[in-house]
Every structure is written in structure tokens, then in C-alpha cells.
A and B are shown apart, each in its own frame.
Chain A
Amino acid sequence: MLQIGQWLINFYESSVFAYGAILLLIYTMLAIFSFISIRKYLRRESCSDYHDLLKSALSPGISVIAPAFNEGLSIIMNVQSLLTLNYPIFEVLLINDGSTDNSMEQLIKVFELEKVDFAYNPKLHAKPIRGIYKSTNPAFSKLTVIDKINGKSKADAVNAGINVASFDYFVCTDVDCILEMDTLLKLIKPVMEESSRRIIAVGATLRTANSCDIDQGVIIQMKPPSKLLPKFQEMEYIRAFVLGKMGWNLINCIPNVSGGLGLFDKEIAIKAGGYDAQSFGEDMELLVRMCRYSGDNQIKYAVKYIPETLCWTEVPSTIKIFMRQRSRWARGLAQLMYAHFKMFFNPQYGRAGLITFPYNFFFELLAPIIEIVGLIYYLYLWISGRINTEYAVLLLLFVYSYSIMITTIAILWDQITFRYYKSWKDVLLLCATACLEIFLYHPMIVFFSIRGYYYFLTGKKHVWGDMQRQGFGQARKN
């Protein structure tokens, strides 16, 4: 019995060691891949002229879908901001998902909307539409407002938008996100540059807008967040997008396109069944389903990412809201792994089945559980005096310095790419935040993820709109 116990302990320790070593190697690989990917992107960008696309009648049309629920504080300004995007052929589909505030009244008044007889053909499941509105003012001819019954999820609202969308590509965003003027031009470019594979989705980097100077829906000056929690998230976003997504981009293994901003192939999205209203991670779920559909139908596809920040969003600034958000994401991940487990190491789905899905399973889903179990085991060893303090300190120092190095590399890549922050001090402070991450931010993420998994297992109810925002409604200069 003792031997079996010893064998189990040895097995556990070896497994955790191998797990940690592989994870560190993956991060190193991502750092190298992202550098290559970003360099490639910058070289190509230096030769690109977006003016041709902007004036061309050959540009493919794009539907911009923005669902809104009780966003009365900033809805007018955000719609105005969407209407000023630089692109020759596009429409803005704003979905008022049964808001209980005065969003709809404001929209009707400001944009001179009129209810129209719209031939609505639902290809994707969504709650019934109460009315579709168009503006009588030609200045807002690109705007269509869809007033629908609340579907209790963003997915339901976006599905209604896809049903109304006129063009072959749609961009999904949140109405409270601030998009760069050239967002559509930059997102469609990777689609137009590929002939051998079908580009089913394109994503771009998201950043936090919490402390930026914003006026009339336009970022005047980019600044890293001043509060610690948003600052941690900014650092995490840079690492996840610039290093993570761009690294995966090189080998066509992007795990998800953020719900804040993504361009999708409408035909594939519809055939894959659209957004799942029951999912808590609807953005990732849609992409996985699109990949799965493509794999099932032998469609050669690719998902692309661009390192440029095209979308600015407000991130949670209080622990309570942050906890809700992260628990929801974790729950969504668990749901997704459960629903699409068929893809796990399934060669039929190519890289999505052999690399992306297993990576998400082992290093995203299981990571918080392994960490918690490891921590408990570590404490037990420490209390029972079975830890060599010298070695333990060295190993912890190793992990600590490695994590800071990876974050600093991500910030460097970001600086190489676009240098969003005016002051060097801002960059230095962001790097310094990485030193605190392991002690303050990371434990929170682990705890909130475990909470999400618990809710997944117990099936706790959840409502859309839990992310209370300050809004960018007024000119906000810090």
C-alpha cells in the first residue's frame, strides 16, 4: 500500500513537472512565433495602401453588428462613432436587446428612425423581433436598428443581427467598444490576401480604454489604466493578444476571436449554427463551431489575427465585476470543452483538433485546477518539512523571473509594433506591474476560474449585462 502511495506521489510530481516544463516551452515558442508573425505583418503593412480599398467599388460589403442592452448612457455617441468608420460599403446593425432604459427612445429621436416593413428571414435562432427601424435622414442611411425581445444573452442578439445582415462578412463588436476608424479596412485585408484557403474569421488586438482621453467616441490619447486592476488587465491583454494570438497566428491555431471585435464569414457562421445563446463564452464557441464545420466539410480554412489595436474597451475596475466576468469566461470554456470534446486529438479537424483543442484543454481549462491542487500539495510538503527550502526558493525565483520576462517581451513586441503610449514612464510602469502579477492578479484569476467551473458543474443561472460600465458617453479627459 505504501509502495502504491509512493508510486502515485512520484507519478504526480513527475506529471506536474512535465506539465510545467511543456507550458514554459510553449510560452517560449509563442514568444518566437509572435515575433516572426509581427515582423511579417509589419513588412507587409509597410507596402499596403488602404486608400485603394477605401475608394474601390470592388471592396466586399461588411455588416457591423453591435448588440446593446441598457446602454442608454453612451449609446448615441457609440452609434455615431460606428457610423464614421472608414469603409466604402458597410451597414451598422444595432440590436436593442429589449433594453429597459430609454435607449430605444433616444435612438428614434436622435437618428430620426422610422419603423419599416422589413422582410425578416431568421436563418439563426433568436428571440422575436419587435420592429426594424431605418433613418429618414440620409446622413444615417447606413444605420439599421433592430428592436427585439430580450434573449438574455449577447449571442441571441447577435444572431438576430446576422439574420438581418446584408453582406457576406460581418463584424461583431460591443456597442460600448471604441473602434479605430480604419478597423474594417484592416480586418478585411487578410481575407482579400488569401486565395488558397477560406478566411473564416479575423481578429485584432483589444486594449483597455479605462484611462484613455476620449471625446465623442474617439480616443484622443492612449494611456495605460491608472488603477491597479485595469492595469493588470491591460498587461494581460497585451500578453494574450500581441504574444499569444500572434504566436498562434503563425501556425494557424488561433483558439478564439474576441467578442469585442471580430470579422466573420457569414455563410460559414450561419451554416455552423451561429452563436449559441446558452454558451457563456459565445465568441470562442462560435469560432470552434466554425472550425468544426469547416473540418466536417473539408473546407480549407484559416483564422487570422492582426497585432494592431483596433478596439478599445472598458475593462472591470472593481473586483466584484471582474470576478463575474472571469467566472463567466471560465464557465464558457468548460462548457465549450464539454460540448466539442469530439474534436479532442481528432485528426479530422486538423490543427484545431490536434493542437488548439488539446492546448485549451490542458493549459487553459486544467491549469487552475492543477495550480490549486499543486498549491495544497506544496503546503502539505512544507508543513511536514519535506521541502528543501533552498531549492524551492530557486525554483520559485525561476518561475517568477520567467513570467516577468514573458510579459516584458510582450510589451516589447507591442512597442516594436505601434508604441501606443506617449511616455516611456507609462511603459516602464506597465512592465513593473508584471512584478506584482504573480502575487495579486494571478491568484484572483485562478480563484475566479475555479468558481466558474463550480457554477458550470452546479448549473447556476446567469444573466447578460452583468458588466456595469462607467460609459464613454461624456467627453472624459483624465
Chain B
Amino acid sequence: MFESPYSFENLDVGQNPTWLNWFLSLPLVIQIAVVSILISTCFILYIQYRIWYIRFKNYIYNKRVKYIVPILDDLITEQIVLKSNASQNQFGEPAFNIPNQIRAEFRSRKYRQIIIDRIIKYQADFTGTIGTEMRNLYMELGLDKVSFRKMKSRKWEKKIRGIRELTNMDILIADVNILPLTNNKRQELRSEARNAYIKLSKNEPFKFFDVTTEPLLKWDQIELFKTITTTENIAIPNFARWVTYSNNKSVVAFCMELIVYYKQYDAAPAVVKLLENKDHLLRAQAINCLGKLKYEQAAPQLVHIYSNQPLNCRLEILKALGRMGNKENVTFLKQEFMYSTDFDIRKNAAKSIVRNSNKQQIDLLMESCTPENQLILKHNLNPLIKY
């Protein structure tokens, strides 16, 4: 019968097993290779198990969703959507008639995140009484406590989730808890805290503009912009304050976007001061802002500084003059269109000319210019071409 030379049966008392002798007799490199083969094989088997486990976990989660969501949906339909007077119960009575067993299930660890997500979804889809009822349901199930606990977590992503849940459900968070987070090192948390602060703070929702030292990233700006422009009952300040005093360039740039959105014509003089700023990107944005505000008083200054500006600012000046729509500006625009050697300058000047001229004037210009400039004019005249 075959007997393995490396089996334990060959072990003599007081001696190493033969497979160990074999292993020790190998050169170091081969020993490392043998160990690596074992590690790799174990690791491959472990990975297979992990892949299976991940899929199994997902399967279980889906099963839970399939079980609990219809129960919640039925409850919401019955007690909120169909019976809109659910909250008009007598004092002391629970607002919702939820059987104890289901209430316990809603609160259980395995279902509560699913429930929170579902209620938030309903809250986002409905406004008015139904929205308020969703909030009441969320509080009655004690889910606000769960969200507050998340806010206190050490993990930043959990904190964010907690803040987001509370903000979505319009639950007040104390300034003292949220304001420090608006300057947090972690960008995602900082951004979420700023959004929450604007949405929930009853005192000065824009206070963090004064204290923020970190730049507002473009992504943050988009989220903030949405929060500011969609939150109801928010007192909109004059953003010229930050345009004038803030040392944070990104705050200044963002405030200019808000000035345009809210058409804060009063803020224009503060923006004009930025034309002397050393940063050409900020200058370009200031010019853009003045153009969108149609602040005609700035036109002479724009024409005056034009020749000293880099290309991006020049293009913005041409666009701004077009938006302002002044006859004197058209003369300047024509001059740039006719004599500039830069294609982009001629294209932008033509666009502004087309905006402010009638057909007769355009025809006249067309006759006097080069074939290339004629093409540029035709390009800008064609309604099918947007840019």
C-alpha cells in the first residue's frame, strides 16, 4: 500500500515530522513559495466565501425590504393618505394606530433603516398635511432618536446620514451641535452640515459664510445653491456683504452666483469693486455677474479695462456688454469684431452684436466684413446653433 513519505505515521518520537524535514531542507526562496501557495489557496477559498456572503447579505436585505415595505405602505395609505385627520386625535392618544407587534418590528434593528429610508422618500414626495404626518410618524416611532444617535457617531459617514435624515424630516438640530461641523476637516461632513444649518437654523442661516476658512468646492456650491434656493421661509440677506468683506474667494464667487439668482441689483457696486481684484478668475466671474445683472453703469469701466485683461476676462466683457444692450457698447463690439485677430473674440463680439442689432444693421455689417467674419455672423444668426 502507498504510504506518503510526508505523513505523520513516519514521525519518530523526538524528531521533526518528515514533511517538516522536507520543508526545512528547501532553499529559502522555495520555502517562501511553498508558504505563499498555502496562503494563496486559503485566500482564494476565503474570497469565494466572502463573495458568497456578500451576495447572501444582499439577498437577506432584499427579503427584509420585500417583507416590511408593504406593511409600512399599507399603514401609510390607511392612516395618513386616506385618513388625513390622523393627527387630530384626542390628546394623549397615539396619533397612529399601529399594532404593537408591527410597532416592535418597525423599531427593530433589522428593519428600522429600511423604515427610515421609506418614510424619508414619502416625505420628499408629499408636501402639506401628508408631509407633516410623515414627520409625526417618524417621531412617534422614535426614529429621530436613531438619527440623533447617528449624528453622535465617530464615523463621519454615519454622522452625515444622521444629519441628512434629520434635515429631510425637518427636525431641528441645535446650532451648538451643527455649527462646529460646518468647518470640519472632512469635506463631505462640512458640506452636509452647511446644508443642514441653512435649512434648519432659525437665527442666521448664513452665519457660516463668516467663519468658513475652507474653500467651498464646486460640488458644495451646487448643493448649497439648491438648499438656499429651495428652502422655504428663509431670509435672504444682501450677499454684497460677503463679496466685500470675505477673504474666502470661493465664498465671494458663490455669493456672486446668488446675487445673480436673486437679482440683487443693490449688490452690483460691491461686484464692480472686484474688477480690480488680482485673481483673473474672480474678475471674470465678477464681469459675468455684472452682465447677467444688466448693470449698465459698469459698461464704461468694462470697456476701459478691456485692453489690459487676459483672454477669459475679455470674452466675459464682450458677453456682458451684449447682455447690457447699450448702443455705445455695440460700437465697441463692432470694432472688436472687425479688427481682432483672435477667433474667439470675434465670435463672442458677433454674438453680442447679433443680440443688440436689427436685420438691417446685420446686413450692413455682413457686407463690410471678411468671408470668415461673415461665417461667424451666420453662425450666430442661426437659431439651430446654441453655442
Contacts and interface: CB of A to CB of B under 8 A. Distances in A.
Interface string A178-204: 000000000001011111000000000
A53 B220 CA distance: 10
Interface string A371-409: 000000000000000000001001101100110110011
Interface residues of A, number: 52
Interface stretch (A111-119, A276-284, A295-303): A111-119
Interface in A80-128: 91, 114, 116-119, 121
B201 interface: no
Nearest to A144: B385
Contacts of B379: 116-119
Most-contacted residue by chain A among B29, B50, B51, B161 (CB, 10 A): B51
A116 B382 contact: yes
Contact of B222 (A52, A118, A195): A52
Contact of A194 (B164, B217, B221): B217
Given A116-B385, A117-B375, A117-B379, A401 B41 contact: yes
Given A401-B40, A404-B44, A117 B378 contact: yes
Interface in A57-82: 58-60
B27 interface: yes
A431 B48 contact: yes
Interface in B149-173: 157, 160-161, 164
Nearest to A135: B384
A401 B33 CA distance: 10
A56 B226 contact: yes
A114 B383 CA distance: 12
A58 B250 contact: no
Nearest to A122: B343
A442 interface: no
Nearest to A392: B30
A402 B26 CA distance: 20
A86 to B, nearest CB: 15
A433 B237 CA distance: 63
B63 interface: no
Contacts of A121: 343-344, 347
Interface stretch (B52-60, B301-309, B320-328, B352-360): B52-60
B139 interface: no
Contacts of B30: 391, 394-395
A416 interface: yes
A419 B188 contact: no
A68 to B, nearest CB: 21
Contacts of A191: 218
A195 B384 contact: no
Nearest to A141: B386
Given A46-B161, A117-B382, A192-B219, A166 B36 contact: no
B67 interface: no
Interface in B243-273: 250, 257
A394 B379 CA distance: 71
Contacts of A114: 384
Which bracket fits the contact residues of B? 35 or more
Contacts of A477: none
B47 interface: yes
B281 interface: no
A91 B385 CA distance: 11
A195 B344 CA distance: 27
A395 B37 CA distance: 9
Most-contacted residue by chain A among B26, B48, B164, B250 (CB, 10 A): B48
A105 to B, nearest CB: 20
Given A415-B51, A424-B55, A402 B222 contact: no
A424 B52 contact: yes
A391 B37 CA distance: 13
A412 interface: yes
B192 to A, nearest CB: 7
6 contacts: A43-B157, A47-B157, A58-B257, A397-B33, A398-B37, A401-B41
Closest 8 CB pairs of A and B: A166-B387, A117-B378, A401-B40, A192-B218, A119-B379, A398-B33, A134-B384, A192-B219
Given A52-B222, A431-B48, 20 more contacts: A17-B29, A43-B157, A52-B223, A53-B219, A56-B225, A58-B222, A58-B225, A119-B343, A166-B387, A189-B219, A192-B219, A394-B34, A398-B34, A401-B36, A401-B40, A402-B40, A405-B47, A412-B47, A419-B55, A431-B51
Interface of A: 17, 43-44, 46-47, 49, 52-53, 55-56, 58-60, 91, 114, 116-119, 121, 134-136, 141, 166-167, 189, 191-195, 391, 394-395, 397-398, 401-402, 404-405, 408-409, 411-412, 415-416, 419, 424, 427-428, 431
Interface of B: 26-27, 29-30, 33-34, 36-37, 40-41, 43-44, 47-48, 50-52, 54-55, 58, 157, 160-161, 164, 187-188, 192, 215, 217-219, 221-223, 225-226, 250, 257, 343-344, 347, 372, 375-376, 378-380, 382, 384-387
